[in-house]
Each structure stands twice: as structure tokens, then as C-alpha cells.
Amino acid sequence: MKNLSLVFSLLCITHSTFAKIYQVGASKTYTVPSAVANLVSDGDTVDIDAGTYSDCATWNKNNLLLRGVGGMAHIKDVVCSGKGIWNFNGNNITTEYIEFSGAANPSLNGAGIRGQGGSFTVRNCYFHDNENGILCNDPVAGTSDVLVEYSEFNSNGNGDGYSHNLYIGNMKSFTLRYCYTHHAKIGHEIKSRAQNNYILYNRITNETTGTASRNIDLPNGGLAILIGNIIEQGSNSDNSNMIGYGLEGLSNPTPQNIYLVNNTIVNNKSAGSFVHLQPGTGILTMVNTIFAGTGTLINGTAATLDTATNLVSATSSAIGFVNAAAYDYQLLPSAKVIGKGSNPGTAGSYALLPVSEYVHNSKKRNRTVTGTIDIGAYEYVPTTGMDPSVSNASRLLSFPNPVSSKLYVSITSMHSGMLTIVNTLGQILFSENIEQGEKEFEIEMEGYPAGFYFIRYVSKEVVSYKELIKE
């Protein structure tokens, strides 16, 4: 076994040694991204100077990093193979700081990114005025993952209702977080056929001039987890239904369950429905969510329905938003939803309690909860000068941070509760019941991957978070 580990380590060293960084820019040897597309090998990086490029490229290799440097690199107006500005045929490609616009083709489905090679990640990018922002399909159905974060999608769609800001095909999972998607042209802000959908801490809005159809369309069902989103339907929306689930048939593998937790959902249209379900849906959980505006709350039925601790209001003005007219749904001190929420629990092993909040434009911050959690996508935190993660009756301490091996935790609480360690995808990696009083213990972290985690303590009196870095 030691010999095998040594061989693997040597292979990794060899790979990193031979990986290359290609530089693209007006003053560089390679002046457009397509000039290096056939030169790169697995694991290479392409740095593209900020600027505008009328160009397209097909990327066939795996584990590539394609990124703008010095600002956004704007790639526009040309599609390759009649598909997208960038076509991904390789697997596990990451794209950062790239702007895509002007993708069009005779089939009316030109895309900023056309994903057809497997998993990929999009981060800090901007897609606008394409027939589709992102269009992808899994080459082997249900085996690949798509992550899109810190990005903006604006005015994508051909106007025929068949093209969208994002159109995700039959992937294993789709995660959208800390993004702003708005003003899709007749099509949906988000359409996903993925088996597992995690839509977390985004702003998904049509606004006054928007003509989009559904805010979120999950036509084939599957597992859907929507936490901490701001979802708004404008008065000119093309479809009065805001969230559709399974409406083309529940063809994804089970479970056919949808969870809406701590969202703020506002309908500024004169009619419609907030959630439209296909009959046969297993679980619909709606917890700690604001539903404001006109319309039917639920169209359709689910075998199991949980609608605990929501606020339903015919108007936005009665809730206590900072500025609903400007789509700022943060809370005033007088807001009706402060301290009115409940612990949403889990969906299987997935922790549903929110850990973040959307910050405009396409950013995030930690959600700090003192006492009982608020309803909606935002927590009201009074300015007291105290540590907002600690109440008078409860204290959570941990060290060291960053941690490499052993993590030491101290909890003082008037009530029993649950301590968990959660990764950025909401998965619970550690849990322990804690009795009231004071308890100190250690947690072995050596086997955890490097990255960000949340230490979370939930009791009757308080919800406390601490961010943790694992080296």
C-alpha cells in the first residue's frame, strides 16, 4: 500500500510539474483564446487579459482553468460549431472572470457556455444578451455536476420561450449560489433538469421591466433544495407561476421532494401561483419563508406537506422590508418576521438551516442568528456592540482556526441542543447531542478536506455559527 501511495504522489508531482500556464492578450503571443484551445493539455491554465475578444473556442481537455486577469475578459459575438462561444468537451473545466455576450445560431439556442463534456464550474462570470447564458447536457445522464457561483445572468433568451438565462440538462447535480439572474427574455430565469438541484442564496428577479417566464423551472422533479433566495416576479412576467416542479413529468430518480427554506418570495404580478407542483410529488416543505403578493400559495398536491412558520401577506408593504420598491428585502427593526422562525431540520443528511445571505451584486455574507431565527432570506441583527453569534444564555467557542488536526470546542448553554459541522454544500459531516450546561471536547479534523466549514450549535434558545477553515 505504501508503494502505491508513493506512485500516486509521484504522478501528482509529475502532473503539476508539466502543467502549463498560457497567456492570452493583445500584447501576447496568443492574441485570442481560440489560439491556445488546441495547444492545452489536461490540467493547464489559460490566463486571458481583460479586454474584448470577438472569438469562440472549443475546449477538449480536462481539468482546465480558464480565467480573466486584470478584470473581466469579454468574449463575444462568435459561436463555434454552431453551438456556443465556449464549448466544453472536456471534463472538470473551471471558468472565472469571463463575460459572455452575443451568442446566437440558426437553431436559436446559441450559448455563452455550451457544456457537453461532463462536470464544470463557473465563478465570477457575467452572461448577457445570449440566446442561452449556459446550456448543458450530461454526456452520461446523471453522472456530472455543475457549480455556478458569484455570477450574473441578464437578458439571455431568444424570446421564444425555449431559451433561458440558465438551461441545465440531465446532470447529476446543479448548484447555483450567490448569483443574480434577472430579465430573461420570455424564457425562465433558471431551468434545470438535473436530478439534484441546490439553489442557494441567490437573487432571482424579473423586476419592473422583466418579461421572463418562471423564476425557477424544475420540469423533471428530483431533489430540490432552495434556501435563502430572493425570488421576485415582476408585473410584466410572461408566466404567472413563479416556481414550477415536475410539470413535464416526474422522470428524475427519487426522491421527488422539494424544500423551500428561509426564502423571500414576492409576486408583483396581479395573479398567479407561488409554487406549482406535479401530482405525485413526495414532500413539499416550506419553512421560514415569506410569501408576499397576490396569488395561490400552492397549485397541486404533495404526499407530505410541511408549511411551518411561514409568513403569507397580500402586500409587501406590511412586512417591514427596508425598500421593497428597490427589491431590498432586508428587514427593518419593526419587521413582523423577526424571531418567528423555527429549526427546519434536515433533508436526509442535508442541513436546511441557512448559513449565508445574498449580498447584491452576486456576493454573500454569513448569516448570524441570535435567539430564534427570523423568517425570510435575511436575518435582522441589531447593532449592540456584542458578538452577534453569542447570546447571554449560550456561548460557543472553538480553536484553533485554521485547524489542521484536532479542533477543541467549548459550549455553555441553558438548554440541550445539537452541535454539527457542515460543509459549504450544507452536508452534515459531524453531529453530537449536547446536554445543558458546559461541555468541552475535541473533534478530529485530520481526515476532512481542506476548505471552509461551519460549526453550528442549535438549541431551544439560540442558533450560533462559527466559520472554520481546515488547512
Q: What does pLDDT average to over the chain?
A: 91
Confidence of residue 436 (pLDDT cuts 50, 70, 90): confident
Which residue's C-alpha cell is 424544500? 259
Interior/surface letters 212-242, b for 16+ CB within 10 angstroms, e for the rest: bbbbbbbbbbbbbbbbbbbbbbbeebbbbbb
- Phi, psi angle pair for 17, to nearest 5°: -65, -40
- pLDDT at position 402, please? 84
C-alpha distance from residue 195 to each of 133, 171, 290, 363 (Å): 20, 6, 26, 26
User: Is the link from the previous residue into 382 a cis peptide, with omega within 30 of 0?
Assistant: no
Average pLDDT score over residue span 406-435:
80
- pLDDT at position 58, please? 98
Q: Are 320 and 335 in contact (CB under 8 A)?
A: yes
Q: Does residue 395 carry a pLDDT above 80?
A: no
Q: Output the nine-digit C-alpha cell for 1.
A: 500500500
- pLDDT at position 456, please? 79
Rg (CA), the chain: 23
424, amino acid identity: T
- pLDDT at position 460, please? 59
User: What are the helix (H) ranges across 45-133?
Assistant: none
100, amino acid identity: F
Average pLDDT score over residue span 305-318:
95
Q: Does residue 234 carry a pLDDT above 70?
A: yes
Chain CA centroid to CA 390, Å: 28
Q: Output the nine-digit C-alpha cell for 140.
A: 452520461
- pLDDT at position 3, please? 53
C-alpha distance from residue 7 to each of 4, 43, 93, 315, 317 (Å): 5, 19, 25, 64, 64
* Greater pLDDT, 409 or 92: 92
Of 130, 153, 152, 269, give the one whose Cα is nearest residue 211: 269
Q: Are 137 and 110 in contact (CB under 8 A)?
A: no
Residue 118 CB neighbour total at 10 angstroms: 22
Q: Give all domains of the chain, ordered by start, each with its CATH number.
A: 394-470 (2.60.40.3080)
- pLDDT at position 454, please? 81
DSSP characters over 362-425: TEEEE----SSPPSSS-------SS-TT-BTTEEEEEE-SSBSSEEEEEEEESS-EEEEEEETT
Average pLDDT score over residue span 197-215:
97
Confidence of residue 160 (pLDDT cuts 50, 70, 90): very high
Average pLDDT score over residue span 57-83:
98
pLDDT tens across 161-184, in order? 999 999 999 999 999 999 999 999
Q: Output the nine-digit C-alpha cell for 78.
A: 462568435
Q: Does residue 17 carry a pLDDT above 60?
A: no
Q: Give the DSSP letter of residue 324.
A: G
